[in-house]
């Protein structure tokens, strides 16, 4: 089953306590496509780049089953550029530079062959661009996953509400869930957000893991403690890529399978942070993915025994 992924392809300059890199490959769509490519080799990519983006990076994606018919390369313009610096705790970062460049004119047009894609992953973008992609689909896809952020809640809330009506799975962080719902309790926030459209709400909490809410049920995916987080950039998008990839591979969007998909997403995120840019994601082996999945299972499983009550 084919995946449609829409989002940025970019250059990032990143500073973390472990070092810094200049103008390395980044962007939501890049991370999503790489992470998803371990489960699915029919990925329809929609993005925009300038003529500074290396052709080799596009070619290796194609070799992994990614169609780039929907990738627009703009002559004499630069690719989207982001630069940021992480604080010591790696949970917070400051944006130093955001140069939209070609992204300012991103108005995605789906090639005919993309329009019946069944697994839709909309990376964090202007809600009206996300909406426009959904409007071009023919028929109802199996699942629509949307990523967004607090910025769009501040500046384009009405457009965000509009697109959310067509979304099955929303991925945001805990503060964003509170902002979007106006509720302090995440349980109440989830109920309210379900009423906006998304039947599934995934709350990403970084090193603290992720929560899945659906129809009164809750799943908690742990964060895997790792010896060193080198660079958290792209972790959320790697998570999304693993999630949509696994859903497409299994064709099952039940609550039960969504749990496992989240663990696969967490697995990709946990590898992503081990190195800068896509360096680690590009070299993964299937055995490594499976062995980390087992680590996640061991991490949160425990035994219960029946204990007769004592007399007080």
| Binding interface with its own copies (CB under 8 A) | 17, 37-41, 63-65, 88-90, 184-188, 205, 208-209, 211, 218-223, 225-229, 249-250, 256-257, 259-260, 262-263, 286, 293-294, 297, 299-305, 307, 309-312
Our CB check for its own copies shows the closer of 250 and 275 to be 250
Our CB check for its own copies shows the closer of 39 and 80 to be 39
Inter-residue contact 126 to 11 (CB < 8 Å) = no
Our CB check for its own copies shows the closer of 40 and 268 to be 40
Q: Residues 150, 107, 34, 213: is their CA dihedral positive or negative?
A: positive
Q: How near is the Cβ of 303 to its own copies at its closest, in Å?
A: 6
Q: How near is the Cβ of 291 to its own copies at its closest, in Å?
A: 12
Q: How near is the Cβ of 16 to its own copies at its closest, in Å?
A: 11
Our CB check for its own copies shows the closer of 66 and 145 to be 66
Our CB check for its own copies shows the closer of 125 and 186 to be 186
Backbone dihedral angles phi then psi of residue 298, each to the nearest 5 degrees: -65, -35
Q: How near is the Cβ of 97 to its own copies at its closest, in Å?
A: 26
Our CB check for its own copies shows the closer of 135 and 217 to be 217
Q: Residues 20, 25, 27, 32: is their CA dihedral positive or negative?
A: negative
Q: How near is the Cβ of 125 to its own copies at its closest, in Å?
A: 27
Q: What is the DSSP string of 66-108?
A: EEEEEEEEETT-PPEEEEEEE-TTSS-EEEEEEE-GGGGG---
Tokens of 71: 């990738």
Number of Cα atoms under 13 Å in the Cβ half of residue 259: 11
Our CB check for its own copies shows the closer of 139 and 309 to be 309
Q: How near is the Cβ of 51 to its own copies at its closest, in Å?
A: 27
Cα separation, 168 vs 119, whole angstroms? 11
Tokens of 197: 């459209």
List alpha helices for the chain, DSSP H. 28-36, 55-63, 127-136, 150-155, 157-164, 174-181, 186-196, 235-250, 255-272, 286-300
Cα separation, 190 vs 192, whole angstroms? 5
Inter-residue contact 28 to 12 (CB < 8 Å) = no
State the residue for tokens 């991103």.
106
Q: How near is the Cβ of 208 to its own copies at its closest, in Å?
A: 4
């Amino acid at each position: 089953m084919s995946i449609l992924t829409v989002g940025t392809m970019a250059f990032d300059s990143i500073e973390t306590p472990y070092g810094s890199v200049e103008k390395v490959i980044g962007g939501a769509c890049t991370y999503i496509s790489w992470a998803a490519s371990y489960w699915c080799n029919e990925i329809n990519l929609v993005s925009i780049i300038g003529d500074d983006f290396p052709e080799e990076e596009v070619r290796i994606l194609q070799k992994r089953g990614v169609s780039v018919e929907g990738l627009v390369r703009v002559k004499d313009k630069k690719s989207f550029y982001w630069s940021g610096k992480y604080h010591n705790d790696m949970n917070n970062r400051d944006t130093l530079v955001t140069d939209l460049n070609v992204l300012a004119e991103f108005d995605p047009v789906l090639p005919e062959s993309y329009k019946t894609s069944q697994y839709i992953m909309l990376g964090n973008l202007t809600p009206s661009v996300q909406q426009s992609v959904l409007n071009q689909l023919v028929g109802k896809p199996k699942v629509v996953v949307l990523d967004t952020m607090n910025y769009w809640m501040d500046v384009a809330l009405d457009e965000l509400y509009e697109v959310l009506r067509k979304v099955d799975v929303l991925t945001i962080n805990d503060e964003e869930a509170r902002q979007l719902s106006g509720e302090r309790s995440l349980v109440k926030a989830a109920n309210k957000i379900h009423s906006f459209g998304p039947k599934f709400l995934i709350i990403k909490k970084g090193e603290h893991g992720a929560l899945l809410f659906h129809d009164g049920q809750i799943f908690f995916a742990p964060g895997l403690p790792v010896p060193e987080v080198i660079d958290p950039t792209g972790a959320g998008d790697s998570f999304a890529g693993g999630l949509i990839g696994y859903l497409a591979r299994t064709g099952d969007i039940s609550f039960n399978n969504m749990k496992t998909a989240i663990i696969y997403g967490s697995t990709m995120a946990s590898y992503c942070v081990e190195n800068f840019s896509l360096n680690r994601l590009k070299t993964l082996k299937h055995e490594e993915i499976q062995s980390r999945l087992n680590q996640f299972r061991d991490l949160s499983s425990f035994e219960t025994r029946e204990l007769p009550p004592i007399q007080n």
